A and B are shown apart, each in its own frame.
Chain A
Amino acid sequence: MAAVSGLVRRPLREVSGLLKRRFHWTAPAALQVTVRDAINQGMDEELERDEKVFLLGEEVAQYDGAYKVSRGLWKKYGDKRIIDTPISEAGLRPICEFMTFNFSMQAIDQVINSAAKTYYMSGGLQPVPIVFRGPNGASAGVAAQHSQCFAAWYGHCPGLKVVSPWNSEDAKGLIKSAIRDNNPVVVLENELMYGVPFEFPPEAQSKDFLIPIGKAKIERQGTHITVVSHSRPVGHCLEAAAVLSKEGVECEVINMRTIRPMDMETIEASVMKTNHLVTVEGGWPQFGVGAEICARIMEGPAFNFLDAPAVRVTGADVPMPYAKILEDNSIPQVKDIIFAIKKTLNI
């Protein structure tokens, strides 16, 4: 059947090759999956595994999700598990989707006071196994009220776990770990990453693929400098590392994956090896993720191994402007990361 339809569509010169093919074909070794599909897959598997898991949020049901992340889930699981308006019921494990985390500010009292603090305030009696997920940080042209990064805001609060996936593998593994975790977890996705395909290793295709919360990943090994980042800027760091390796500078790029609890062991071990540190994030500089990393490096054993002060590359300290030229210059670009690395290394 596939060969027949192929014959119709393909040009004549390929027909002979087609006739040699067999009907049955194996899946390609390197599977490309977008971040959106990875999150969808992760949620689908968890909804199937545990009937107490349900998804609620704006447009998640019939509209298939504001960014199509929950596509197909309403058709599969129905109204009882995929809900367009929030309801509070006991014993359930909700996944609450925010259209963007900027809207979570309307609900932040519930996220912090009702979700984050409850387990502690009740002396361990009342766990809150909820997941808050949605796009975070700057998008394209959405201006000041829709572009804020909340990694630092949520990372500040004890009682919450905060994760920030970069690629598809991160997205699937972290959303599954977040759903299975009995604590409130904030999953900070990125709208611009939803449509980006990444290679999906075979172990990630399993239904029990979990990425432990609180563990960072070294995306690229290096010897000269440690570059720590989370979410979309990880891609920019890898690009900068590729450019610099042509000049002989080998950067070690760490994808934090989790903001809270932060994996300081990996970062410290890396700094003790390379002796230089640059942090990269999309959020504002003051009281940000980079500031916390630098403070903790200072407090730990890695400080004695630093050959130069650590440098933070962050978003500009302004509300996100609308005009494209201003917006492009308000978020860290590859050239800014390269500049910071060269400044730290004094080259």
Chain B
Amino acid sequence: MRKMLAAVSRVLSGASQKPRHGLATLPSLVSISRLKQSSHLGLPKCWDYSHSLKTRQASRVLVASRNFANDATFEIKKCDLHRLEEGPPVTTVLTREDGLKYYRMMQTVRRMELKADQLYKQKIIRGFCHLCDGQEACCVGLEAGINPTDHLITAYRAHGFTFTRGLSVREILAELTGRKGGCAKGKGGSMHMYAKNFYGGNGIV
């Protein structure tokens, strides 16, 4: 117990130093995000890490001291091919870094949608509000498979895609509540959110 606490205090004091590998992978993830707002992981810049950082760091060090695998291999069903020599790969590797990144994105979308649900029930959001809590993996998984320069269009269940395409939760919620700070200046609403290389949000399908 005392050794673990010593490890915790070492990590906490070394939070602003250069990250070490191996055991300290997880805490370094936290510390770098705190400094550079997670640009090296490609995560959106809006996330605020500052509150309860130390308690989370501590619990993460304790967790990281166990032996979890760093990646997982998944099998993908083989596609039928038509006039092609090679198809897409049949196995894929999900690294721990990516897994955590996707999980964080999905959790953020989930929290955002639950909040939007609450606001809708309070009639602060008007008109239509098509939520994707429960379907976050669709937008996160899709974004993982494409590049930011690819073009994306979707139907009316657009909040998750708007987030994964790079807009902040603040901009999305401001748009839902009809404020100037929203991504469409409050003029579009739930179904008409646009971002770079993202063409909404379409109501008529």
Contact = CB atoms under 8 A, between A and B. Distances in A.
A317 to B, nearest CB: 14
Contact of B189 (A103, A106, A322): A322
Contacts of A143: 127-128, 187-192, 203
B192 A323 contact: no
Interface string A86-104: 0000000000000000110
Contacts of B203: 102, 143-146
A318 to B, nearest CB: 8
A192 interface: no
Nearest to A145: B203
B186 A321 contact: yes
A297 B201 CA distance: 43
A323 B186 contact: yes
A142 interface: yes
B96 interface: no
Contacts of B128: 141-143, 146
A323 B187 contact: yes
Chain B contact surface mostly? loop
Interface string B167-205: 000000001001100001011111110000000001110
Contacts of B189: 141-144, 322
B179 A140 contact: no
Nearest to B175: A322
Contacts of B175: 322
Interface string A301-325: 0000000000000000000011111
B127 A141 contact: yes
A105 interface: yes
A54 B21 CA distance: 72
A144 B126 CA distance: 13
A106 B202 CA distance: 13
Given A105-B204, A145-B202, A321-B186, A140 B192 contact: no
B204 A321 contact: no
A322 B187 contact: yes
Contact of B192 (A103, A139, A322): A322
Interface in A112-157: 139-146
Contacts of A106: 204
Interface of B: 126-128, 175, 178-179, 184, 186-192, 202-204
- 7 A-B pairs with the lowest CB-CB distances in the bound complex, closest first: A141-B126, A141-B127, A322-B189, A323-B178, A145-B203, A323-B186, A143-B189
